[in-house]
Structure 1
């Protein structure tokens, strides 16, 4: 008779295979030269992502489970560590693009070797190591999103504007009406309180008090953002936080990342190449500063993460599952909100990550896990802001209403956008 551990092991085995194959599918359209480019310190080469996600399984599963395990590539422990100081000194993040060796072929061999060893030990792992396998699967899904956002940034630095996929431009369609969806406020339960996977920063579940509020029924569009720009939004300091205004001036920013002006028209670089900005498409690749400034200009504000999560849980109460535009669609770009949608709240999940007004801090009674895996989330709870909802390059099985993404307020290379909120 199969035990609960046996059943869980088999489920994780299938998830492991699917996620590892998805990473390879993302890399499949690339030329060998694409694998080694690092366009900025925040981004990593595709080759590094493929190796690092493999390093995770080797370091945190194979080494603890096999007493006599010796890696055929011991130097990889240094080269492909990201930020786990408990494990050892990582190779400098800003220099990952200098690693022409090991070769891409070597990294593929590394992946095959570790995958085979994981398959061999999977059925013998105890519940604790199965939990690490599950974390590793979700960790790789995070890197799948990063592979695409990092590749897009690298392509944006190339004057040829290369395309990752063949893709027609979005046709001219009208934007759906923006409505306000009201929520009563009161005491709300925040954080994950189930028996499936979540990250430690989503716990513990706790209560918070909310004033009545409303969220916009859809994301802010590029057309609406163009109105902000035409009204001098980037030149008027009244809309900007002091730090945001300094950020604009120092970086000479006048538009969302990847937008380029050609005569009187705006173009944007996408994973399908350089195309005209679509007014009905959600604006994306904006920083927290830009999202906050737009909200002020529009006479509204950004939602707090507690407001966003409460609204999401309310909307999900009448739905069987999370729906939205995710990585699996292979669209690789946000799309306009549907004009005939039956859901009162659109684009709540997928399309773009939504900036909130909340700093990334620990929930009440939060304690980071002991050991190296305790470095996963907790040590980044400083100078970051929370984003919610996932994007068009987030795997659908990876997202939850309680999921907390976080980036510094000036970061723009992720698919980050805007949903408005207001108090009522």
Structure 2
């Protein structure tokens, strides 16, 4: 997309969509809920609200437009690297009304800047990159705030329609991915973030991957077979975690009167067997895969299964092709407050026939979060570079809580392998057996 006016419309739409979602997540609870810390793992919702706007001010009002700072004195308060989440309630945070006023003031200036800013000639503004980056940043914090909503106690504050029905009848349990090279990452996607770049060739040996994500029903069989009681399935650090914290099921599950129940956004309900399993750590995913005689896919394997078209040899933007996501192709954008059942979204299948690779649940891979060959940090080291290394595992594909602007076939997420509050699931893979 090179037409400046089309770029402005796209950027405005992305920013507007993100702000509407932010308002939904913060207007549905009272000020007490906004300022409370619902879990030491997460910030108070009001911190996220002001942080979103502070980042928008720093990058678009100051860096892009060169305008004077509106509230320079709060930069430190909303610096995510300076203050761990657990300590943020002790900071001099803007009150909810003041945070909303600040957000409105910043957005008003940004709209004016977008109307007139040149969208070429500077890496930060080429193809409206900075505006797209900020829209993605806000949507990522919207997902974080949705996690906080899941952690908070009390009655449901959010509602959404149910996802479409799924059906795995006739689907093979796994799909063969042939050996060969493919192009991983991107150098062409204008709003791709630094860790997705540059495009480069990778050779992937033949392997098999699950057609759909592992479901709650699948995972229940692991539990009922004593999976959480047998050290042999677990990485040493994972076994230590489940022993220390007495973990015996995914987060938010409990056994009651002979039935497995879960809490989902303030509602307690039976665990739906055909839905992809959610709120499991990397260690749990890895243990299940070992128990099943399989393994987690590598990041390269996941992306080849998602993007490679064996007919043309191209790597597609998304599993279904180069077109943007639609409600018929993927469960994204908080449209539904849960993953869709396994086998949903046939229109979103990859050329090889793998389903639900985008949306529904973030999928753990076996890979550490590392830079691609030729990686260049942009526009700041703290987005990706400081997280590279063996401490973080890569997740791919997005979840129902991710907006399309922050989800594509090349998008890389990462987290600590102990994390369970995130909207994480997985699928498994296996090596091809040599004949």
- Name the residue aligned to 2:314: none
Q: Is structure 2 residue 72 aligned with structure 1 residue 74?
A: yes
Q: CA deviation at 1:44?
A: 1.5
Q: Distance in 2 between matches of 1:253 and 1:301?
A: 21
Contact 2:166/2:344 (CA < 8 Å) preserved in 1?
no
Contact 1:326/1:350 (CA < 8 Å) preserved in 2?
yes
1:253-292, aligned counterparts within 5 Å? Answer: 253-292=247-286
Distance 1:169 1:58, change over 3 A: closer
Contact 1:328/1:396 (CA < 8 Å) preserved in 2?
no
Structure 1 unaligned residues grouped into runs of 5+: 84-89
- Name the residue aligned to 2:331: 325
- Name the residue aligned to 2:238: 244
1:185 aligned residue (162, 179, 184): 179
1:110-259, aligned counterparts within 5 Å? Answer: 110-127=102-119, 128-129=124-125, 130-153=128-151, 155=152, 158=153, 160=154, 162-166=155-159, 176=169, 179-259=173-253
- Name the residue aligned to 1:411: 419
Tell me how many residue pairs correspond in the alignment. 407
Contact 1:175/1:280 (CA < 8 Å) preserved in 2?
no
Q: Is structure 2 residue 306 aligned with structure 1 residue 312?
A: yes
- Name the residue aligned to 1:345: 354
Contact 1:358/1:385 (CA < 8 Å) preserved in 2?
yes
- Name the residue aligned to 1:336: 341
Q: Distance in 2 between matches of 1:107 and 1:400?
A: 31
Q: Distance in 2 between matches of 1:65 and 1:175?
A: 49
- Name the residue aligned to 2:12: 13
Q: CA deviation at 1:4?
A: 4.4
Q: Distance in 2 between matches of 1:378 and 1:222?
A: 35
1:83-122, aligned counterparts within 5 Å? Answer: 83=81, 90-99=82-91, 101-122=93-114
Structure 2 unaligned residues grouped into runs of 5+: 310-317
Q: CA deviation at 1:116?
A: 1.1
Contact 2:167/2:342 (CA < 8 Å) preserved in 1?
no
Q: CA deviation at 1:298?
A: 0.6
- Name the residue aligned to 1:298: 292
- Name the residue aligned to 2:382: 375
Q: Distance in 1 between matches of 2:375 and 2:90?
A: 38
- Name the residue aligned to 2:403: 395
Helix, strand or coil for the counterpart of 1:375? coil
1:396-424 deviation digits (Å, cap 9, x = unpaired): 23211111100000001111002111111
- Name the residue aligned to 1:86: none
Helix, strand or coil for the counterpart of 1:347? coil
Q: Distance in 1 between matches of 2:174 and 2:115?
A: 51
Contact 2:394/2:412 (CA < 8 Å) preserved in 1?
yes
1:167-188 deviation digits (Å, cap 9, x = unpaired): 7999999865552111112112
CA RMSD in angstroms comes to: 2.5
| Normalised TM-score (structure 1) | 0.89
Distance 1:117 1:93, change over 3 A: same
Q: Distance in 2 between matches of 1:178 and 1:404?
A: 27
Segment drifting more, 101-110 vs 286-295? 101-110
Contact 2:234/2:283 (CA < 8 Å) preserved in 1?
yes
2:365 aligned residue (337, 346, 356): 356
1:245-301 deviation digits (Å, cap 9, x = unpaired): 111112221110111121321111102511111111111100000000000101111
Q: Distance in 1 between matches of 2:182 and 2:424?
A: 26
Helix, strand or coil for the counterpart of 2:308? helix
Segment drifting more, 17-26 vs 226-235? 17-26
Q: Distance in 2 between matches of 1:205 and 1:339?
A: 30
Contact 2:185/2:197 (CA < 8 Å) preserved in 1?
yes
Q: Distance in 2 between matches of 1:80 and 1:339?
A: 40
Q: Distance in 2 between matches of 1:386 and 1:120?
A: 38
Contact 2:364/2:395 (CA < 8 Å) preserved in 1?
yes
Contact 2:330/2:359 (CA < 8 Å) preserved in 1?
yes
Q: Distance in 2 between matches of 1:339 and 1:317?
A: 14
Contact 2:158/2:265 (CA < 8 Å) preserved in 1?
yes
Contact 1:189/1:206 (CA < 8 Å) preserved in 2?
yes
| Normalised TM-score (structure 2) | 0.87
